[in-house]
A and B are shown apart, each in its own frame.
Chain A
Amino acid sequence: MAVYLDHNASTPLDPRVLEAMAPFLRGPYGNPSSAHRHGRAARDAIETARAQMAALVTADPGEVIFTSGGTEANNFAVKGVAAKQQHGRLLYSAIEHPSVLEPLQALARQGRAVETIAVDAEGRVDEAAFQQQLRRSKVALVSCMVANNETGVIQNTTRLAMLARAAGAVFHADAVQALGKIPLDFAASGAQLLSVSSHKIYGPKGAGALIADRALELEPLLHGGGQERGLRGGTENVAAIAGFGAAAELAGQELDRRKTHTRHLRERLETALMRIPGIRIFSAGAIRLPNTVQFAVPSIHSATLLGLLDKKGFAVSSGSACASGSDQASHVLLAMGVPQDVALCAIRVSVGKDNTQNEVDQFVETLCTLMAGLGVTLPSVALS
C-alpha cells in the first residue's frame, strides 16, 4: 500500500492529460518550426495550449512563453530582467525557491547588488521593512513567490507588486506552487512576470511557462532558433506543452472542487496533528494553500521520520524536493526565526485531488505509532 502525500514535489499525470499528449508522442508529427503540414499541426497544438494556459491565469496568450519548467522560468525571469537593467538592486523574499535565489546569488557574485526581503514568524513578507528597502535607492527587480512550497503561505503579491511598481521596479512572482491551487489573475496582479510549472498541476514534467508583460524587455536565457517570439530558443516540447495546456484547462474547471477537497483533507489532518502534544505546525496563523501543511515533531530528525514513513508506504517530504539529500535546515523556516534544531525536524504533507480521507487517517495513525516506537511519548516541551 502506497500513499502519496507529496504533491508539492510533483503530481501524478492526470490520465486525461495523457490523452491530450498521446497524439504527439505516438503519431507522426513534426518540428513546430517546419513549414509543412505536420509542423503546422504541432504549432496549432502549442497555440491551443498557450490559450489554455493564458485562460487559467487570466493573461493574454501572447504573454505566455513556454519553458522546460519552473526552474527555467524563474532563471529566465531573474536573469532576463537583470541583463536588461544593468542598474538597480535586485530584491527577493528570504523564502524564495532555490531557482529564484540561486540565480540571484550568482548575479551577486558577478557584482550585482542583491538583497533579501525579511519575512515575519509566520513566513509573510514584512511589508514595512520592504517599503523601506524600496525607498533606499533604485530597485530593478523584486521577486516574491505567490505561495511557498514548504509552508504553503500565500503572500499578498498584488499589494507587494503595487509597492514595487510604484518604486519603479519590475515585479516577478513565482506562482509554481500557487497554480491550480488558488485563483491567479495575472492581468490584475500588477506583476509583470509570473512563473508556472506543469508537473505541479497533474501535467507532465518538462514543461513550464513564464508569463511576461509584452512591454517588458527580457534577455533570453536560451538563445537561438527564434522560437517563442525570439525569447526562448529550442525545438518546442510539443507533447509536454499540449499536456500542460490540457492540465491547465482541467485545473481551471476543477479549481473549486480541488480546493474544497484538499482543504477538507488538510484540515482533518491538522486537527489530528494538533491533538498530538508537542507538534508544531508552521505558519498556522497565515493564509496558506489549501493542500499544504508543514509541521515538526521536535526531537525527531525529519530524515529519520521520513525514512520510517517511507518504509510504511507514505511519501512525504521535509520541504523542497530539490533540496533533498542535503542535511541542511530549511532556509524558509530559518528565515521565519524557527530554531535550527526544530527546522531540522520539519515534515511537509501536501495532499492532492485524488487523496482520500482514509489515506490521511492512516497517515496520522502511522505517524503516532512511529513516534511511540521512537520513544517519543509525546513530549511535554512547550515550544512556543
Chain B
Amino acid sequence: MIYLDYAATAPLDPRVYEAMLPFLKPGGLHGNPASDHLEGRRAREAVERAREQVAALMGATPAEIIWTSGATESNNLAIQGALEFYASRGRHVITARTEHKSVLDTCRYLETRPSPQGIRVTYLKPQAGGAISAEQVLDAVTPETVLVSLMWVNNETGVINDVVRLAPKLRERGVLFHVDAAQAIGKLPVCLREVPVDLLTVTAHKVYGPKGIGALFVRKQPRARLMPQMHGGGHEQGMRSGTLATHQIVGMGEACRLAEAAWAAEVSRLGLLGTRLWQELSELPDVFLNGEGASRVPGILNLSFAGVEGESLRAALPGLMVSSGAACSSATREPSYVLRALGRDEELANASLRFSLGRFTTEAEVDRAAGQVIRQVNRLRRLSTTQTGDAPPERSVQKEASQNGLHQDSGVPFDYSARVWDLFNQTPRSGCFTEGTALIGRASTPASRSALVLHIKMAGNRTIADARFQAYGCPTTIAVGAWLAGHVVGQDFRKLSELKAPAICQALEIPEERVHTALLGEDVVKSLLTQIHPGYRPA
C-alpha cells in the first residue's frame, strides 16, 4: 500500500501524537479550558502555548489566531462573518471557480439569500496554467466589492496564486482579502507580517496534525472584523464559541512547530521526489500535467491520462492511495470542477489522478507507484476499443494485485462483485484476431462513454470457435466484455439470441445501478448476430 494522498489528509506525526497524549490519557489534563479551577487553567495554558506556535508558523501574533473545527469552518466564518459585519460597505464578492467547496458553497448559499443578506459573486476562471492572476482579480473589483476570497495554493493542482503581489493592491483599494491557505502552510513561506491579507484559513490535518481542528487568522492591525457564526459562551474573543478541544489544539500547535522547523528541508526533498515521479510517468505517451507552466508547490502532481476511463484507472490501482481530484468531491462523485475549469474535457478530467507526496514518502515508494501506474495505463489502453492489433493477455496484473495483498486481507477493495473484480484484473481474451477472418460486434453507450467490441471466429456454420474482446469503460464494462468472450466460445450462435442483460447481471452479480453495462453486453451480442446472420432480427 502506497499512500500518496497527503493533500487530502496527512497522517498524524508520531511526535504530534506524543504531544496530545497528556490530554487524553488516564489521569491526564482533562479540564475544560474555560473553567476557572486548576484543571481548567492548565488546559488553558496549553491552548495558549499552541496559539503561539500556530502564530509563529505564519508570522502572526497569537491574538490573531481564532480556533475553529477546521478549514471548512474557517472559510465559512471568514466569508459569512465578514460579509455580515461589513454589510453596509457593499454586496459584491470575488472568488474563483477553482476554490475549495467550502468557499464556493458558502458563496452560492449567500447568493441565494434574499436581500439584504444576499450577495453578488464573481467567479473568476483560471488562466491556462491554472492560476488566477492579480490583474484578473483587480479588474473584477467594483466600488461594491467588499471581499476577495482566493486560495493560496490549489488543492487539486498545487498551483500557487500570487497572493503576495495581490494583497497590497487589494489593501490599497480597501477590499478585504481572505486567503484559504490550507494547502499552503508548511509548503510555502507564509509571513503575515509582510503580506497584508486580512483573513487566512489554516487547518491542522494537512500539516501532520489531527483532524477536527483549524484556525482563522483575523488581522488585528488594521483590524478585520467578523460577525460570529457560532454563538454561545463568548470563546475566542467572541468570534467563535464552543468548548475548546484541548488535545486537538495542542496537536495543531505541535504540528505547526514541527513544520516551522522542518519546512525548508522538507520542501526541497518533496521537490526532488515530485520531479522524480513526473520524470518516470512522463515516459507514458499522452499524459498531461495539470497546471504545467504555472508556479506550483512541490509534492503535488495532477496528471490526466488520455485514452483510459477514470473509474477503471482508479480501480486498476488499488494499492495506490491517490485522489481522483479533491477528496471532498469524490464524496459527491462529480468530475473535478477544477480540472474542468482548466479546460480539460469531462472525459480527461475524469481520467486524472492527483499524487500528493509528503513527509513520510520515500524514493522507493515513488518508483513503485510510477511502475504500477505505467503498467496499468498501458494495460487499459491495450484493452481499449480504439486499439488495433493483437494484445497479449496481461499476465503481470494478477501478480501485482497479489503483491498488494488485496486478495489476502479484504478481498475486493471496491464495491464490485468478486467475479467482476477478477475479470477486470485478469481480462482473459482481450484484444483482437490478427489472422483469419473474424466477425465483429460493436456497441456503445454515449451517455456513459463506454464501448464494447466482440470478435469471434466460427467453426463451421454454427459453433463459435474463439472470441476476443475490447472494451473502454468502467471495470464492470470491461468485465462484461471478458465474460462474454469466454461465455460464447463453443456455443451455437443461435443460442446467443437468448442472452439478455438480466442473465449477464446474474452471472456477474452486477447491481441495479450498473445494469447499463449488461445492456451494453446484450447490444454487442445483438450486433454480432446480425453479422453472423444478416437476416437476424432481434426479438
Contacts and interface: CB of A to CB of B under 8 A. Distances in A.
Contacts of A27: 11
A233 B102 contact: yes
Contacts of A18: 24-26
B530 interface: no
A369 interface: no
B115 interface: no
Contacts of B105: 223-225, 233
B101 A204 contact: no
B233 A225 contact: no
Contact of B101 (A4, A86, A233, A237): A233
Interface of B: 1, 3, 5, 8-9, 11-12, 14, 17, 20, 24-26, 28, 30-32, 34-40, 69-73, 75-76, 100-106, 108-109, 114, 203, 205, 210-213, 227-235, 241-248, 314, 318, 320-324, 327-332, 410, 413
B103 to A, nearest CB: 7
Contact of A6 (B39, B103, B114, B248): B39
A224 B69 contact: no
10 contacts: A72-B69, A205-B244, A205-B248, A206-B69, A206-B213, A222-B72, A224-B102, A224-B106, A321-B32, A324-B35
A322 B241 contact: yes
A131 to B, nearest CB: 28
A274 interface: no
Given A102-B241, A239-B211, A6 B37 contact: yes
| Most A-side CB within 10 Å, residue of B100, B230, B247 | B230
A47 to B, nearest CB: 14
B73 A323 contact: no
Nearest to B331: A33
Given A25-B20, A224-B106, A315-B37, A30 B321 contact: yes
A224 B318 CA distance: 28
Given A26-B14, A205-B243, A234-B69, A226 B101 contact: yes
Given A224-B106, A315-B37, A99 B11 contact: no
Q: Is the interface of A mostly helix, strand, loop or mixed?
A: loop
A221 B230 contact: yes
In the A-B complex, the 3 residue pairs with the smallest Cβ-Cβ separation, listed nearest first, are A237-B212, A99-B232, A224-B102
B413 A37 contact: yes
A38 B321 contact: yes
B321 to A, nearest CB: 4
A205 B246 contact: yes
Contacts of A309: 37
Contacts of A74: 232
Contacts of A71: 230, 232-233, 241-243
Interface string A311-327: 00111110011111110
Interface in A66-81: 68-72, 74-75
B72 A35 contact: no
Number of chain A interface residues as a range: 35 or more
A207 B242 CA distance: 11
Given A10-B30, A68-B70, A240-B212, 12 more contacts: A13-B25, A26-B12, A98-B241, A106-B227, A223-B102, A224-B75, A224-B101, A233-B102, A235-B203, A239-B212, A306-B37, A322-B233
B85 to A, nearest CB: 12
Given A25-B17, A234-B72, A315-B31, A324 B331 contact: no
B230 A234 contact: no
B76 to A, nearest CB: 5
A323 B212 CA distance: 24
Nearest to A243: B24
Interface in A1-26: 2, 4, 6, 9-13, 15, 18, 21, 25-26
Interface string A37-52: 1111000000000000
Given A15-B26, A204-B245, A223 B70 contact: no
B34 A225 contact: no
A322 B332 CA distance: 37
A25 B40 CA distance: 24
Contacts of B210: 25, 237, 239
Contacts of A206: 69, 212-213, 245, 247-248
B211 A233 contact: no
Contacts of B38: 2, 310, 313, 315
A199 interface: yes
A11 B243 CA distance: 12
Contact of A30 (B9, B17, B35): B9
A28 interface: yes
A105 B11 CA distance: 41
Contacts of A326: 234
Nearest to B25: A18
Contact of B230 (A26, A37, A72): A72
Given A71-B242, A207-B212, A38 B3 contact: yes
A4 B9 CA distance: 36
B102 A222 contact: yes
A26 B245 CA distance: 18
A365 B247 CA distance: 34
Contacts of A238: 211
B101 A225 contact: yes
Contacts of A323: 233-234
Given A35-B324, A234-B73, A315-B37, A223 B106 contact: yes
A2 B321 CA distance: 47
B233 A106 contact: no
A227 B331 contact: yes
Contact of B37 (A13, A34, A38, A317): A317
Contacts of A233: 72, 76, 101-102, 105, 328
Contacts of B28: 12-13
Contact of A235 (B5, B211, B329): B211
A58 interface: no
A366 interface: no
A316 B40 CA distance: 10
A236 interface: yes
Contacts of A97: 232
A117 interface: no
A31 B12 contact: no
A17 to B, nearest CB: 9
A98 B323 contact: no
B70 A317 contact: no
B358 to A, nearest CB: 11
A34 B327 CA distance: 5
Nearest to B30: A12
Given A10-B32, A313-B38, A315-B37, A35 B69 contact: no
